[in-house]
Amino acid sequence: VRHAVILAGGSGTRLWPASRRRQPKQFLPLAPGGETLLGGTVRRARAVTDKVVVVTAADQADATLAAAPGVALLAEPAPRNTALAIGLAAVHLAHADPDAVLGVLPADHHVGDEARLAAAQELAFGAAERHDVICTIGIRPTRPETGFGYVELGTDEVEPGVTAVRAFLEKPDAATATRFVADGRHLWNAGMFFARAARIIDDIRNLLPQTAAVLDGVAGALAAEGPVAAADAAVRLYPGAPSVSFDTGIMERTTGRVVVPADVGWNDVGSWAALRDVRGTDPDGNTIIGDAVALDAGNNVIATDPGTMVAVVGVDDLIVVRSGDAVIVLPRSRAQDVRRVVEELARRGKDGYL
Amino acid sequence: VRHAVILAGGSGTRLWPASRRRQPKQFLPLAPGGETLLGGTVRRARAVTDKVVVVTAADQADATLAAAPGVALLAEPAPRNTALAIGLAAVHLAHADPDAVLGVLPADHHVGDEARLAAAQELAFGAAERHDVICTIGIRPTRPETGFGYVELGTDEVEPGVTAVRAFLEKPDAATATRFVADGRHLWNAGMFFARAARIIDDIRNLLPQTAAVLDGVAGALAAEGPVAAADAAVRLYPGAPSVSFDTGIMERTTGRVVVPADVGWNDVGSWAALRDVRGTDPDGNTIIGDAVALDAGNNVIATDPGTMVAVVGVDDLIVVRSGDAVIVLPRSRAQDVRRVVEELARRGKDGYL
């Protein structure tokens, strides 16, 4: 049976001041219509399967249920990256359903073309069911992005629309990224993975023995005493677990990897500048979330809380965001420097703003 | 006896969003050390006389007393500009003290050199006591400002440091203002006027008969029945009173005008850009009121409420202000366009932000 596993453990700082330690990106109403990224991910997942579980931090369970009412939760006692989070979901789902097939989806991305995504997920689930593979959905790159990992296409087509993977590649330098876009053989790794639970557990056992030991402890408690004992085992074992990403720990090293190349309007919402693509622009090129006045001002990204106002006059290509007790202003071209502000606030001990 | 009469009726919009309909400029903590402009004006007035009265709108009495505890108030039932406000003060002070000499001071300006201001006020009060004149303090212009009225110097020196006035002039065009700065014969009209109460009442009677009729009604009630009856008379008579400024109605037309030229670090705080001169700049050229982080950013004016944070990265020569439920961002060179934002908000019916 197909299960969507949504990973909602992130704690990004690149959308400060809207994203905070206690309010990561997936809980922000950034998608069109004010939907949260998590809410949109859950809704898109439900379009392909009625079995949806969200893996979340224990202290974000309430926020998760607020953004995605009625969803099943699997709470992690500490953040230990995606290999363990995906493994934990595989253990739990395999316990209840030995034939479980997982479709792993990040909670904090946006997808514009939901019909195409559903079709790609259908192909990916099918490939994972019919072959002993881990299938990913690869996004055709539109720019030489150095912030993403890449999937290098192989030559064999396993099924129509499903191609063998030659390599999973870490974030490239600019020259390499430019080559990747030009050669047409490289796709963005969007962090979506489809595989049978048993296959995931086997890969972790073979490639990440320390992670596997944690999962074995949880699985043993689950089999012997049930979910409460499994949660207790996780609380006991997580602190000593290594932090390894599924990309690095498994996908770069395993065999039997396939990819569905897809053009689904994917956006990782990795900065305020990315909001332009997610939310679109008005006739002046401004992207506005909330209540704003823009006079002689174009190509800005403006966001403010409900019940508050941002006014700009005579400025172009700026990001202006007001959220809660903080405001940030910086050029769109320097959207990544939000991180520097967060670092500076931490350096000054202004933790209340983080 | 010398009385300082502080006019606190203004309702400027040029410092939006800090200045609002219910919170005019004089109540804002813009002076160094977070003093309000009104509080600073009262403090400077007390340096030259212990008799200080603030003329304020009736609905701003509480805010006035919060900014200037213990001050005497004279409340106007409606705003009718400065000729009537000054006349009302003259009537009340003359009733209690037939020899009252008034020093009229705007509540919402800043003065950097308080010792020089005190010396200039001493000269101005003295001239008003010894001669049948209205004396003003004229500020030596430092730029061809078109937003102020000017005082044209005459040739006679009435007393040492006190010169006859040839003309009071309205706001000039740019070419005229440039000539005024160059010729050394023109000073900024800072709205400070010193004269005996009886002289002010006589001038109003001669030049502004409608205004005089209102004042006669108030004075009659005051003489016959006391201050409560005088307040009732004001409530009855103010709605029909004309709105005339003391500058236009009296100073441009009366005779016996003298001026004390002075260099007192005067600033009308007429825009956010003016904050640079009032509050100074840090080594990066930034003027910061409140808690801010500025990275690779210079020559900005940044203001935010206590307990809130503004962060800027990679921007220069901007005004960034957060106050209450609103934020404004615009270039320093366009500081006057704050008014356009206020107009646009009114046009959209967003009165809650005004």
- Residues B178-214 have pLDDT tens digits of 999 999 999 999 999 999 999 999 999 999 999 999 9
Sign for the pseudo-dihedral over CA of B116, B122, B123, B124? positive
Find, among A89, A122, A126, the residue nearest to A200 by Cα.
A89
Q: Is B329 on the interface with A (CB under 8 A)?
A: yes
Q: Nearest-CA residue of chain A relative to B333?
A: A314
CB contact under 8 A, B345 and A307: no
Q: Nearest-CA residue of chain B relative to A303?
A: B327
Which percentage of chain B shows pLDDT scores above 70? 99
8 Å CB contact between A282 and A302:
no
Residue in A309, A310, A314 nearest the CB of B334: A314
CB contact under 8 A, A291 and B337: no
Q: Is A340 on the interface with B (CB under 8 A)?
A: yes
From residue B163, give the alpha-carbon distance in Å to each of A202, B113, B321.
97, 21, 42
Does position B286 have pLDDT exceeding 90, yes or no?
yes
Other beta carbons within 10 angstroms of residue A218's beta carbon come to 25
Lowest mean pLDDT among A268-282, B11-25, B228-242: B11-25
8 Å CB contact between B12 and B25:
yes
Locate B328 and state its tokens. 């404004």
Other beta carbons within 10 angstroms of residue B98's beta carbon come to 10
d(C-alpha B23, C-alpha B325), whole Å:
14
Interface of A with B in 296-325 (CB under 8 A): 304, 307-315, 318, 320, 322, 325
With b for 16 or more beta-carbon neighbours within 10 A and e for fewer, the B169-184 pattern comes to: beebeeeebeebbeee
Phi, psi of A50 (to 5 degrees): -90, 5
Q: Which residues of chain A have pLDDT under 70?
A: 11
Quick check: pTM over 0.80? yes
Does position B13 have pLDDT exceeding 90, yes or no?
no
Q: Is A327 on the interface with B (CB under 8 A)?
A: yes
Contacts of B291 in chain A (CB under 8 A): 350
ipTM confidence score: 0.90
Contacts of A331 in chain B (CB under 8 A): 313-315
Which position has the token pair 């704050």? B338
CB contact under 8 A, B326 and A308: yes
CB contact under 8 A, B330 and A307: no
d(C-alpha A12, C-alpha B314), whole Å:
22
- Strand A309-313 to A162-169 pairing: unpaired
Contacts of A308 in chain B (CB under 8 A): 325-327
Determine the pLDDT at residue A4.
98
8 Å CB contact between A259 and A135:
yes
8 Å CB contact between A146 and A171:
yes
Interface of A with B in 15-34 (CB under 8 A): 17
Contacts of A318 in chain B (CB under 8 A): 315, 329
SS (H, E, C) chain A: CEEEEEEECCCCCCCCCCCECCECHHHCCCCHHHCCHHHHHHHHHHCCCCCEEEEEEHHHHHHHHHHCCCCEEEEECCCCHHHHHHHHHHHHHHHHCCCCEEEEEECCCEECCHHHHHHHHHHHHHHHHHCCCEEEEEECCCCCCCCCCEEEEEEEEEECCEEEEEEEECCCCHHHHHHHHHHCCEEEEEEEEEEEHHHHHHHHHHHCHHHHHHHHHHHHHHHHHCHHHHHHHHHHHHHHCCCCCHHHHHHCCCCCEEEEEECCCEECCCCHHHHHHHHCCCCCCCEEECEEEEECCECCEEECCCCCEEEEECCECEEEEEECCEEEEEEHHHHHHHHHHHHHHHHCCCHHHC
d(C-alpha A323, C-alpha B296), whole Å:
22
CB contact under 8 A, A311 and B295: no
Long-range contacts at A209-218 (CB < 8 A, ≥ 24 apart) = A210/A241, A210/A242, A211/A83, A211/A84, A211/A87, A211/A241, A211/A242, A211/A244, A211/A249, A212/A87, A213/A237, A214/A84, A214/A87, A214/A238, A214/A240, A214/A241, A215/A84, A215/A87, A215/A88, A215/A90, A215/A91, A218/A88, A218/A91
Determine the pLDDT at residue A231.
96
Q: Nearest-CA residue of chain A relative to B338?
A: A313
Phi, psi of A261 (to 5 degrees): -65, 135
Q: DSSP secondary-structure letter at B44? A: H
* Nearest CA distance, A293 vs chain B (angstrom): 7
From residue B77, give the alpha-carbon distance in Å to each of B55, B62, B124.
11, 14, 30
Locate A331 and state its tokens. 């050029």
CB contact under 8 A, A322 and B318: no
8 Å CB contact between A98 and A198:
yes
Contacts of A307 in chain B (CB under 8 A): 325
d(C-alpha B70, C-alpha B126), whole Å:
27
* Nearest CA distance, A203 vs chain B (angstrom): 44
Burial of B351 (0-12, 13-18, 19+ CB in 10 A): exposed
* Nearest CA distance, B322 vs chain A (angstrom): 8
CB contact under 8 A, A308 and B327: yes
d(C-alpha A158, C-alpha B308), whole Å:
56
Q: Is B293 on the interface with A (CB under 8 A)?
A: yes
For chains A and B, count residue pairs whose Cβ atoms are closer than 8 Å.
119
Which positions ≥6 away from A191 have C-beta within 8 Å? A7, A82, A104, A105, A106, A109, A247
CB contact under 8 A, A345 and B312: no
Does position B142 have pLDDT exceeding 70, yes or no?
yes
Directed axis angle between helix B81-96 and helix B209-225, to 10°? 30
Q: Is B340 on the interface with A (CB under 8 A)?
A: yes
Determine the pLDDT at residue A73.
96
Contacts of B309 in chain A (CB under 8 A): 17, 325-327, 345, 350, 353
Determine the pLDDT at residue B9.
78
Residue in A293, A314, A328 nearest the CB of B331: A314
Contacts of B307 in chain A (CB under 8 A): 325
Q: Is B345 on the interface with A (CB under 8 A)?
A: yes
Does position B10 have pLDDT exceeding 80, yes or no?
no
d(C-alpha A323, C-alpha A338), whole Å:
14
Which percentage of chain A shows pLDDT scores above 90? 97
Residue B122 banded pLDDT, cuts 50, 70, 90: very high
CB contact under 8 A, B331 and A325: no
d(C-alpha A232, C-alpha A222), whole Å:
10
CB contact under 8 A, A293 and B330: no
Residue B11 banded pLDDT, cuts 50, 70, 90: low
Average pLDDT value for chain B: 96
Q: What is the per-residue DSSP string for B115-138? A: HHHHHHHHHHHHHHHHSS-EEEEE
CB contact under 8 A, A340 and B315: no
